[in-house]
């Protein structure tokens, strides 16, 4: 038994060493506020109503500057997505998805003349980017590049918690912090403010500068399901939506995982019984 | 192992084949009839677990290649295509990415088991050396595989590691240019890494065959470190070892599945979900967890060239191990002092791993400032890694050679069966009963 425990302890030790590695807090920022997400844990699922509200925030607010170039309109109607409807297993037929796509214009080439044209998007198209290229995006945003949002929730150490914290983490800069007019102070932004700080060097304010102005106000988006649009609600909903955009197969993954684990546990139990039976008369 | 083959072809086809290519006989002798020490514990199941890891990486890898685009322009998008559009692509990719970590967990346990029970000592030196070659190939394969998604950590990790060769005098710059296929990490680098990442696993498979061959020539070591002397000491590989390996394997798969399905990105870096951008360097470049101890050794040395040499020296120690350990006693079960040093060694490796993940100047005990030594505060991870690295080298270069000559060891049992069977007279009866039990 002791031997077996030491096996488990060793594996656990190696794993902690492994997990401890990447789990680094961004330097200088406050740790992100923990949100209880519906998709947390082994049985987590996206809350479809929340994804729909989050999509509306993205559409009306974020998409003015942030691209989401890895996501296609059809994905919105895929299983686990914000507009999934089991009447339309092929999301290209989903009327909601078709209507959403039609509102966007995408660049194309006229087959007859070869001219570049704009046409309404179809579910098969990707979300078009708000700027034609990186230089244009920077020129319109004071030199900063708004990051693509397709993977944002996975590309930050603290995931959707980080997105939620940034949106709600703007604060008036403490007196003594030197900053130029194009920057904004955010307690959850990674950065080192010590060279901008004229106060006590042992109490440098947490956080960093972010080029994005506070992106959204309370009540800016009207939710169709009647949910009050507080800043907190808007931030949570869009962070959940971005988690879906980054990991659209999350529900499928967790559901498959549950079945796989049940199978493996039974299989391991069966093998353990076989092992006991085979070795019954053998000393070792 | 040595000894007469007991394989009896039963059908006409088997007899026909056996006279022309005795491959069934080879399989029977190696995996059914092969005598296995009866006292192997669960640490001995990691060989089978590693075989499964290799097979899983090969199969998932071959499927990933069907959808992957090895170009600086298309690599990142094609990985996301696998995650979003390929049927069960997310499963295949997460299995491959986490499979690499599982492979290293298993290989580190396998190596530490060999270290503890003296499995590298005569006549198993070649077996151990082949294992070291496999480990080296695994590290090269894992590093190049991590570059392929062409995310920020892929790119900048490749820059850091390839630049290490630049520290070599005279030839350094030529070697890095040759590795890069140009004057910076770019599309040619990605292409050659992809090519080698596909080639090396098959080389690993080849060396694994040699490793198993060498194992079957000298036979397995066992927790007592005493060679099997009679039939009482062994059991046939099938069903005894097979069923034990299968059980351990299924438990390992549960751990594997937990990572794949419920925390697939826990062992990776968030930065690698940002496409590679040579103009933006991540604030903190760290390798994957399984390289962290070596990374810590590299950074522990203030001089770049010496750091690179120390890092490679840490691996070279493993190759020299069979000739560094002077003890006549194989298993540390009977070496009380060596045993203590072994556990300190394991802790030192874990400490190095933690140090590798931290910024060198970060404080170990927060808020305590001591004094500066060699341009760093004594309460810093760089100093902790120096202490741990020193122990790492001392363990191989001082402790094992000296201890083997001075240590007072405990009495070693005469045979495997004698501690296992309380009454020696009972041994032959039980052992002859064993073969009839199987099936």
Residue A20: band (very low, low, confident or very high) from pLDDT cuts 50, 70, 90:
very low
Average pLDDT over residues A84-95: 96
Q: Catalogue the E-assigned strands of chain A.
A: 105-109, 116-120, 184-186, 208-210
A10 CB neighbours in chain B (<8 A) are: 109
CA B383 – CA B363 distance, rounded (Å): 10
Q: Is residue B104 part of a domain?
A: yes
Same domain, B227 and B314: no
| B227: Cβ contacts below 8 Å, ≥ 6 apart | B219
B80–chain A nearest CA distance, Å: 8
Query: Would you call A151 and B247 a contact, using CB atoms and an 8 Å cutoff?
Result: no
Helices B187-218 and B125-147: crossing angle, nearest 10°? 160
Q: Tens digit of pLDDT for each residue in A27-60?
A: 588 999 999 999 999 999 999 999 999 999 999 9
Query: CA of B288: how far to CAs of A25, A92, B17, B100, B272, in Å?
Result: 17, 40, 48, 10, 11
Query: Would you call B80 and A282 a contact, using CB atoms and an 8 Å cutoff?
Result: no
Q: Which residue of B has its CA nearest to A260?
A: B257
Average pLDDT over residues A109-128: 96
Same domain, B140 and B37: yes
Same domain, B229 and B343: no
Helix ranges (DSSP H) in B290-408 = 292-300, 304-324, 336-357, 381-394, 400-406
A222–chain B nearest CA distance, Å: 30
Average pLDDT over residues B108-123: 97
**pLDDT over 70 at A1, yes or no:** no
B77 touches chain A (CB under 8 A): yes
Query: CA of B312: how far to CAs of A132, B294, B353, in Å?
Result: 48, 8, 16
Q: Which domain holds residue B126?
A: 29-285
Structure tokens at A93: 């037929």
Asked whether the bond before B239 is cis by omega within 30 degrees of 0, the reply is yes
Same domain, B119 and B213: yes
Q: Which residue of A has its CA nearest to B235?
A: A282
A147 CB neighbours in chain B (<8 A) are: 274
Residue B420: band (very low, low, confident or very high) from pLDDT cuts 50, 70, 90:
low
Q: Tens digit of pLDDT for each residue in B53-65?
A: 999 999 999 999 9
B356 CB neighbours in chain A (<8 A) are: 21
B270–chain A nearest CA distance, Å: 4
CA B224 – CA B41 distance, rounded (Å): 11
B174–chain A nearest CA distance, Å: 33
Beta pairing class for A184-186 and A116-120: unpaired
Between residues A19 and B342, which one has the greater pLDDT? B342
pLDDT of residue A21: 39
Q: Are B122 and B149 in contact (CB under 8 A)?
A: no
A13, A156, A256: residue with CB nearest B350? A13
3-state helix vs strand vs coil in chain B, percent to 5 = 65, 5, 30
Average pLDDT over residues A210-215: 94
Residue A26: band (very low, low, confident or very high) from pLDDT cuts 50, 70, 90:
very low
Same domain, B250 and B227: yes
Residue A74: band (very low, low, confident or very high) from pLDDT cuts 50, 70, 90:
very high
Q: Tens digit of pLDDT for each residue in B169-215?
A: 999 999 999 999 999 999 999 999 999 999 999 999 999 999 999 99
Residue position matching structure tokens 């796989």: A260
Q: What is the DSSP letter of A178?
A: -
Same domain, B279 and B300: no
pLDDT of residue A281: 85
Same domain, B76 and B150: yes
Average pLDDT over residues B305-328: 97
Residue position matching structure tokens 């194992």: B215
pLDDT of residue B430: 42
B357 touches chain A (CB under 8 A): yes
CATH for B242: 1.20.810.10
Query: Would you call B434 and A282 a contact, using CB atoms and an 8 Å cutoff?
Result: yes
CA B359 – CA B363 distance, rounded (Å): 9
Q: Are B127 and B221 in contact (CB under 8 A)?
A: no
If you count them, how many residues does chain B have? 439
pLDDT of residue B419: 62
B77 CB neighbours in chain A (<8 A) are: 70
Backbone φ and ψ for B174, nearest 5 degrees, come out as: -65, -40
Average pLDDT over residues B73-77: 97
Q: Are B103 and B54 in contact (CB under 8 A)?
A: yes
Nearest of B351, B358, B362 to residue B387 by alpha carbon: B351
Mean pLDDT for chain A? 90
Q: Is residue B435 part of a domain?
A: no
CA B200 – CA B103 distance, rounded (Å): 15
Query: Would you call B247 and A21 a contact, using CB atoms and an 8 Å cutoff?
Result: no
Query: Would you call B261 and A18 a contact, using CB atoms and an 8 Å cutoff?
Result: no
The H or E element containing residue B372 is: strand B372-373
Residue B317: band (very low, low, confident or very high) from pLDDT cuts 50, 70, 90:
very high
Q: Are A246 and A151 in contact (CB under 8 A)?
A: yes
A208 CB neighbours in chain B (<8 A) are: none
Domain boundary among B234, B251, B285: B285
Q: Is residue B438 part of a domain?
A: no
Q: Which residue of A has its CA nearest to B362?
A: A27
| A51: Cβ contacts below 8 Å, ≥ 6 apart | A81, A82, A237, A240, A241, A244
The H or E element containing residue A58 is: helix A48-60
CA A149 – CA A58 distance, rounded (Å): 10
Domain boundary among B285, B313, B337: B285
Query: Would you call B430 and A283 a contact, using CB atoms and an 8 Å cutoff?
Result: yes
Backbone φ and ψ for A42, nearest 5 degrees, come out as: -65, -25
Q: Is residue B426 part of a domain?
A: no
Same domain, B391 and B280: no
Q: Is residue B182 part of a domain?
A: yes
**pLDDT over 50 at B439, yes or no:** no
B354 touches chain A (CB under 8 A): yes
Query: Would you call A284 and B40 a contact, using CB atoms and an 8 Å cutoff?
Result: yes
Listed as own residue / partner, the contacts of B312-316 with beta carbons closer than 8 Å and 24 or more positions apart are: B313/B393, B314/B389, B314/B392, B314/B393, B315/B132, B315/B135, B315/B136
CA B84 – CA B274 distance, rounded (Å): 16
Listed as own residue / partner, the contacts of B182-189 with beta carbons closer than 8 Å and 24 or more positions apart are: B184/B159, B184/B278, B185/B155, B185/B158, B185/B159, B185/B278, B186/B72, B187/B71, B187/B72, B187/B73, B189/B147, B189/B158, B189/B162
Count of alpha carbons within 13 Å of B233, Cβ hemisphere only? 18
Structure tokens at B195: 């090519």
DSSP string, B142-202: HHHHHHTT-BHHHHHHHHHHHHHGGGSTTTHHHHHHHHHTSSSSSHHHHHHHHHHHHHHHH
Residue A23: band (very low, low, confident or very high) from pLDDT cuts 50, 70, 90:
very low
Indicate the SS3 state at residue B326.
coil
Q: Are A30 and A171 in contact (CB under 8 A)?
A: no
Residue B428: band (very low, low, confident or very high) from pLDDT cuts 50, 70, 90:
very low
Same domain, B256 and B353: no
pLDDT of residue A8: 52
pLDDT of residue A2: 46
3-state helix vs strand vs coil in chain A, percent to 5 = 40, 5, 50
Interface of B with A in 254-273 (CB under 8 A): 254-255, 257-258, 260-262, 264-271, 273
Domain boundary among B285, B316, B351: B285
Q: Is residue B20 part of a domain?
A: no
pLDDT of residue B3: 60
- The number of distinct structural domains making up chain B is 2
The rounded percent of chain B whose pLDDT value lies above 90 is 88
Same domain, B221 and B349: no
**pLDDT over 50 at A25, yes or no:** no
Q: Are A230 and A218 in contact (CB under 8 A)?
A: yes
Q: C-alpha dihedral over A65, A69, A75, A80, to 10 degrees?
A: -70
Structure tokens at B404: 């083997």
Indicate the SS3 state at residue A108.
strand
Residue position matching structure tokens 């990572």: B259
Query: CA of B311: how far to CAs of A137, A210, B66, B306, in Å?
Result: 44, 39, 36, 9
ipTM: 0.90
Q: Is residue B247 part of a domain?
A: yes
DSSP string, B5-33: ------SHHHHHHHHH-THHHHHHHHHTS
Q: Which residue of A has its CA nearest to B261?
A: A257
Q: Tens digit of pLDDT for each residue in A90-117?
A: 999 999 999 999 999 999 999 999 999 9
Query: CA of B108: how far to CAs of A66, B244, B254, B255, in Å?
Result: 44, 20, 19, 16
Same domain, B185 and B220: yes
CA A166 – CA A32 distance, rounded (Å): 8
Q: Is residue B419 part of a domain?
A: no
Same domain, B218 and B106: yes
Residue A19: band (very low, low, confident or very high) from pLDDT cuts 50, 70, 90:
very low
Structure tokens at A210: 């972010």
Average pLDDT over residues A269-275: 97
Q: Which residue of A has its CA nearest to B152?
A: A155
């Amino acid at each position: 038994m002791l031997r077996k425990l030491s096996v488990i302890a060793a594996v656990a030790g190696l794993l902690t060493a492994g997990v401890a590695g990447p789990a680094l807090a961004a330097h200088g920022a406050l740790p992100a506020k923990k949100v209880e997400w519906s998709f947390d844990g082994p049985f987590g699922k996206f809350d479809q109503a929340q994804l729909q509200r989050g999509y509306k925030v993205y559409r009306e607010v974020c998409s003015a500057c942030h691209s989401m170039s890895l996501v296609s309109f059809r994905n919105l109607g895929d299983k686990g997505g914000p507009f999934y409807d089991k009447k339309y297993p092929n999301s290209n037929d989903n009327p909601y998805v078709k209507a959403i796509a039609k509102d966007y214009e995408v660049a194309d080439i006229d087959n007859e003349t070869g001219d570049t044209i704009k046409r309404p998007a179809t579910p098969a198209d990707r979300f078009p980017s708000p700027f034609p290229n990186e230089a244009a995006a920077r020129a319109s945003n004071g030199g900063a590049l708004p990051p693509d949002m397709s993977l944002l929730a996975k590309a930050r150490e603290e995931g959707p918690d980080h997105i939620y914290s940034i949106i709600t983490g703007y604060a008036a800069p403490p007196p003594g912090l030197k900053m130029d007019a194009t920057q904004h102070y955010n307690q959850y932004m990674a950065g080192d403010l010590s060279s901008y700080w004229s106060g006590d060097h042992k109490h440098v304010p947490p956080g960093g500068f972010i080029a994005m102005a506070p992106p959204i106000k309370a009540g800016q988006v009207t939710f169709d399901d009647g949910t009050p649009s507080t800043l907190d609600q808007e931030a949570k909903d869009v962070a959940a939506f971005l988690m879906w955009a980054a990991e659209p197969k999350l529900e499928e993954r967790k559901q498959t995982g549950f079945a796989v684990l049940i199978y493996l546990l039974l299989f391991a139990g069966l093998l353990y019984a076989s092992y006991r039976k085979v070795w019954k008369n053998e000393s070792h | 192992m040595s000894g007469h083959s007991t394989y009896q072809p039963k059908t006409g086809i088997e007899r026909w084949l056996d006279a022309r290519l005795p491959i069934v006989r080879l399989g029977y002798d190696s995996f059914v009839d092969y005598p296995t020490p009866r006292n192997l514990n669960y640490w001995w199941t990691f060989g089978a677990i590693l075989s499964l890891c290799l097979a899983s990486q090969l199969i998932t890898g071959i499927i990933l290649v069907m959808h992957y685009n090895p170009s600086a322009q298309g690599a990142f998008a094609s990985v996301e295509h696998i995650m979003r559009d390929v049927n069960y692509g997310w499963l295949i990719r997460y299995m491959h990415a986490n499979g690499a970590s599982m492979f290293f967990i298993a290989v580190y346990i396998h190596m530490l088991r060999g270290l503890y029970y003296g499995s590298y000592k005569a006549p198993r030196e070649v077996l151990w050396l082949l294992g070291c070659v496999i480990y080296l190939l695994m590290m090269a394969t894992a590093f190049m595989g991590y570059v392929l998604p062409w995310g920020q950590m892929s790119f900048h990790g490749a820059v850091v590691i390839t630049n290490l060769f630049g520290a070599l005098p005279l030839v350094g710059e030529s070697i890095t240019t040759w590795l890069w296929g140009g004057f910076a990490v770019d599309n040619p680098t990605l292409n050659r890494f992809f090519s080698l990442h596909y080639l090396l696993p098959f080389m690993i498979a080849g060396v694994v065959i040699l490793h198993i061959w060498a194992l079957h020539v000298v036979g397995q070591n066992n927790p007592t470190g005493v060679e099997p002397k009679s039939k009482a000491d062994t059991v046939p590989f099938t069903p005894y070892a097979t069923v034990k390996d299968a059980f351990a394997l299924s438990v390992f798969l549960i751990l594997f599945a937990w990572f794949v399905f419920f925390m697939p990105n826990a062992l990776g870096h968030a930065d690698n979900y940002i496409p590679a951008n040579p103009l933006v360097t991540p604030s903190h470049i760290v390798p994957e967890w399984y390289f962290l101890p070596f990374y810590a050794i590299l950074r522990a040395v203030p001089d770049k060239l010496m750091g690179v040499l120390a890092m490679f020296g840490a691996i070279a120690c493993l190759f020299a191990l069979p000739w560094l350990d002077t003890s006549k006693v194989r298993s540390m079960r009977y070496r009380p002092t060596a045993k203590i040093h072994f556990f300190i060694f394991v802790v030192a490796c874990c400490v190095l791993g933690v140090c590798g993940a931290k910024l060198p100047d970060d404080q170990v005990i927060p808020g305590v400032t001591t004094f500066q030594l060699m341009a760093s505060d004594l309460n810093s991870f760089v100093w902790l890694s120096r202490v741990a690295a020193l122990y790492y080298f001392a363990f191989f270069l001082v402790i094992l050679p000296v201890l083997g000559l001075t240590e007072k060891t405990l009495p070693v049992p005469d045979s495997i069966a004698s501690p296992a069977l309380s009454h020696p007279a009972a041994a032959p009866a039980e052992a002859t009963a064993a073969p009839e039990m199987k099936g």
